[in-house]
């Protein structure tokens, strides 16, 4: 081994994979044991950004954060929804046991307002969770949000398009969400702070539409005209 390399190793300036120890960053359990295991037994990182990359809504992306939302709203922490693409449906949330009193939905007109609002929410001690649907985000903006998130110590989940999976991002956790064949959600970890990425798991989320079995016997009749299909 060259002198240069050994001196670098002695100074501990090179991170070595095999000496990896479990990180003890603050985190909130996701509520899904399978996913928690893949995330080093921790869950959603607190005081850092998380990104969920997905193509279409309705694949169970809200159910991924629902256990956390339930828990935080029950603790009296405020959950912010920033620029949601559709209306979060109150009766469904109430049914899932989310305390609606602690939910605040914010819609902003432009990107400047969006970033300002998100930063303010992240820095506040009352915030438990921020769900945000940003449009395009510059890398500089994400870094700034990351700093705000560190100051506040709460969970922030950004929902972005899967096209941004290749883009570099300072977020601490990046998950790619793909719908499975049986109403499940395949989670592909693209990036995770303090460990190797690449873990995959699948969460059964059929219960979100009361689908228990694979057969569709509960449908009275498939009403779709076959001719059109």
Name the residues that contact another protein, by CB under 8 A: 55-63, 66, 76, 78, 84-97, 99-109, 113, 116-117, 120-121, 124-127, 178-181, 183, 208-211, 216, 218-220, 222-224, 228-229
Tokens 């929804």 belong to residue = 81
Contacts 24+ apart (CB under 8 A), 185-190: 185/59, 185/60, 185/61, 185/63, 185/64, 187/35, 187/38, 187/64, 189/38, 189/39, 190/53, 190/165
Q: How far is the CB of 79 from another protein (least distance, A)?
A: 11
Q: How far is the CB of 218 from another protein (least distance, A)?
A: 5
| Of 102 and 192, CB closest to another protein | 102
As measured in angstroms, the least distance from the Cβ of 45 to another protein is: 22
* CA distances to 29, 31, 95, 110, 170 from 156, in Å: 14, 16, 23, 20, 13
Minimum CB distance to another protein smaller for 124 or for 164: 124
Distances in Å between the Cα of 144 and the Cα atoms of 8, 17, 114, 116 are 31, 29, 13, 10
Rounded least distance, CB 100 to another protein, Å? 5
Nearer to another protein by C-beta: 41 or 135? 135
Please report which helix (H) or strand (E) contains residue 194, including its range. Answer: none
Q: Which is nearer to another protein, 53 or 93 (CB)?
A: 93
Smaller CB distance to another protein: residue 37 or 107? 107
CA–CA distance, 176 with 113 (Å, rounded to integer): 27
Under DSSP, is residue 146 helix (H, G, I), strand (E, B) or coil? helix
CB of 3 to another protein, least distance (A): 53
CB of 22 to another protein, least distance (A): 30
Q: Minimal distance in Å, beta carbon 178 to another protein?
A: 8
Q: Of the two residues 23 and 113, which places its CB atom closer to another protein in the complex?
A: 113
Closer to another protein by CB, 2 or 212: give it: 212
- Nearest residue to 52 (alpha-carbon basis) of 225, 147, 169, 195: 169
Q: Strands 184-192 and 173-179, how do they pair?
A: antiparallel
Is 195 within 8 Å of 20 (Cβ atoms)? yes
């Amino acid at each position: 081994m060259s002198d240069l390399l050994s001196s670098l190793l002695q100074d501990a300036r090179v991170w070595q994979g095999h000496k990896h120890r479990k990180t003890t960053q603050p985190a909130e359990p996701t509520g899904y044991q399978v996913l928690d295991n893949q995330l080093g037994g921790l869950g959603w990182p607190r005081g850092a950004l998380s990104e969920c990359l997905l193509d279409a809504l309705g694949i169970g992306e809200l159910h991924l954060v629902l256990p956390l939302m339930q828990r935080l709203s029950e603790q009296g922490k405020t959950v912010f929804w920033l620029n949601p693409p559709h209306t979060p449906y109150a009766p469904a949330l109430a049914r899932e046991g989310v305390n609606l009193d602690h939910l605040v939905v914010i819609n902003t007109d432009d990107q400047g307002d969006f970033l300002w609002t998100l930063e303010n929410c992240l820095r506040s001690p009352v915030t438990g969770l921020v769900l945000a649907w940003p449009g395009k985000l510059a890398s500089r903006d994400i870094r700034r949000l990351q700093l705000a998130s560190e100051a506040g110590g709460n969970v922030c989940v950004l929902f972005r398009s899967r096209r941004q999976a290749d883009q570099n991002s300072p977020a601490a956790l990046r998950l790619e969400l793909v719908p499975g064949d049986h109403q499940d959600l395949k989670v592909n970890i693209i990036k995770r702070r303090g460990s190797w990425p690449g873990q995959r798991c699948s969460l059964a989320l059929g219960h979100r539409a009361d689908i228990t079995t694979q057969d569709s016997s509960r449908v009275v009749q498939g009403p779709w005209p076959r001719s059109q299909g």
